[in-house]
Amino acid sequence: MGRQLSKDENNPLNTLDDWEDNILERYPDPSTNEKKKEEFRNYEDSERVETVKEFYRLNHKYQTYDFVCEKENEFLKFNQKEMSLWDAVDFLNTLVDDSDPDIELDQLQHLLQTSEAIRADGHPDWFVLTGFLHDMGKVLCLFGEPQWAVVGDTFPVGCAFSDKIVYPEFFQENPDAENEKYKHKYGVYKENCGLDHVKMSWGHDEYLYQIMKDYLPEPALYMIRYHSFYAQHRENAYDYLLNEKDREMFEWVRKFNPYDLYSKAPVPPDANALKPYYEDLVAKYLPEKLRF
Ligand SMILES: [Fe+2]
Ligand SMILES: [Fe+2]
């Protein structure tokens, strides 16, 4: 049985997919025809727009520098659960949103669609694996974390918030926006210091990166860590914090993004048929047990 996430003030979204649908709305598939885009917009013109907006309001209000430090202290001890990647997939799949579970693709299907699209384009196996596991950090929801601390566009904390981030006006509610230490362009950072020195808002990206960092090649780790950093990989809003290596590696993040956003296949992937291939792939790169 899936666990129902209670829809309360902390969790305004009916489904985590509403955030991803909002991204699609902002960055539509260039190959999708105009009629489809039109249909999509009509669908969005509803109560959903308001819940997504409320979700961003909470996200932008509460994701402060101190909040990120707190979450790092809490979750980077990795003392929540020890699981194989497969246990984690099953665990993540118990995440059922308030919306009709029959309509929504489950988490595994999103992962398989992403990874299968990567595989079909002939990319290296570690890239396929990255597609397959990139959202596993969403298990944070199952540890009781609010939606706004699991998903949502990510952005640097500890320096000025860019107006290229979706709904920038909501940062007025974030105390860091008034804090002398954090409110200036560079904040606590130095020009081109490199993203490894920059704290990002807390969510499924950073969490999974920290779990995977010893096991996957560097481009894979960048894809995992920055896949929701739209303000950079789509808008280049934080060029002044990136170093040369980041710039090089962001080419991979950009290569990954369309597979994440635009890989919804008309026929859902056959998880059982695909399992042996992914079992081998997981065994090639990852240890038997992972600490979450
Ligand atoms: Fe994601
Ligand atoms: Fe995803």
Q: What is the pLDDT along the chain (292 residues), one digit of tens a residue?
A: 344 445 678 899 988 888 998 999 999 998 876 656 555 555 556 788 899 999 999 999 999 999 999 999 999 999 999 999 999 999 998 887 555 445 456 889 999 999 999 999 999 999 999 999 999 999 999 999 999 999 999 999 999 999 999 999 999 999 999 999 999 999 999 999 999 999 999 999 999 999 999 999 999 999 999 999 999 999 999 999 999 999 999 999 999 999 999 988 778 899 999 999 999 999 999 999 999 9
Of all ligands present, the nearest one to the C-alpha of 118 is 2
Domain that includes residue 246, residue range = 7-291
Distance from Cα 142 to the centre of ligand 1, integer Å: 15
Tell me the C-alpha distance between 11 and 146, whole Å: 6
Tell me the C-alpha distance between 84 and 71, whole Å: 23
Of all ligands present, the nearest one to the C-alpha of 203 is 1
Tell me the C-alpha distance between 271 and 276, whole Å: 10
Distance from Cα 136 to the centre of ligand 2, integer Å: 9
Q: What angle do CA 199, 185, 251 make, to 5 degrees?
A: 55
pLDDT for res 3: 45
pLDDT for res 264: 82
Q: Which pair of tokens denotes residue 169?
A: 């006006």
Residue 1 resides in a domain? no
Q: Which pair of tokens denotes residue 88?
A: 């984690």
Distance from Cα 228 to the centre of ligand 1, integer Å: 6
Of all ligands present, the nearest one to the C-alpha of 113 is 2
Distance from Cα 20 to the centre of ligand 2, integer Å: 8
Distance from Cα 227 to the centre of ligand 1, integer Å: 6
Of all ligands present, the nearest one to the C-alpha of 260 is 2
**How many domains, in total, are found in the chain?**
1
Residue 2 resides in a domain? no
Distance from Cα 41 to the centre of ligand 1, integer Å: 22
Residue 104 resides in a domain? yes
Distance from Cα 263 to the centre of ligand 2, integer Å: 10
Distance from Cα 115 to the centre of ligand 2, integer Å: 10
Distance from Cα 115 to the centre of ligand 1, integer Å: 13
Residue 93 resides in a domain? yes
Distance from Cα 202 to the centre of ligand 1, integer Å: 12
Residue 52 resides in a domain? yes
Distance from Cα 135 to the centre of ligand 1, integer Å: 5
Residues with CB under 5 A from ligand 2 (ion): 135, 260
Distance from Cα 156 to the centre of ligand 1, integer Å: 17
pLDDT for res 267: 85
